[in-house]
Structure 1
């Protein structure tokens, strides 16, 4: 099985600079970013069988990752450098 990268820099390469700027200037974005990457790492660990989880737990994590990604994307779209 080939795993697709869900890293935010891979998902949104056009927002690379905005991601960095928001991580250092917006605590809400930074917390969401960190949570997104924690959830994503957990999903990857389960998918490569380094961690055991039920199918439902994996599905729940994937849904949380998608929700976080959608929220982060919305913040990135609204971001405009000063």
Structure 2
């Protein structure tokens, strides 16, 4: 869906406490989460404003966001154990 918010708290509602904890206590997680949110905001803005952009660029942004989401999820699962 265009313009959908993919914030980590929406993507992983069962891990809200771990997300908050890791953002404060794990600098690697915090850096990746910050980049993830930056990408999500950029992608959403491109979708909503319909700013012309090359498909390759748009797909690269979405792929980077997806890869970060996978890495962040691994942190969340590991922290929950």
Q: How many residues align?
A: 81
Please, what is the CA RMSD of the aligned residues? 1.7
Greater helix proportion: 2
Structure 1 runs of 4+ aligned residues shifted over 6 Å read none
Structure 2 SS opposite 1:48: helix
For the Cα contact (< 8 Å) 2:18–2:76, is it kept in 1? yes
- Which stretch shifts more, 51-60 or 37-46? 51-60
| Structure 1 residues 50 and 40: alpha-carbon distance in aligned structure 2, compared to 1, 3 A threshold | same
Larger RCO: 1 or 2 (CA < 8 Å, sep 6+):
2
Structure 2 SS opposite 1:4: coil
For the Cα contact (< 8 Å) 2:5–2:40, is it kept in 1? no
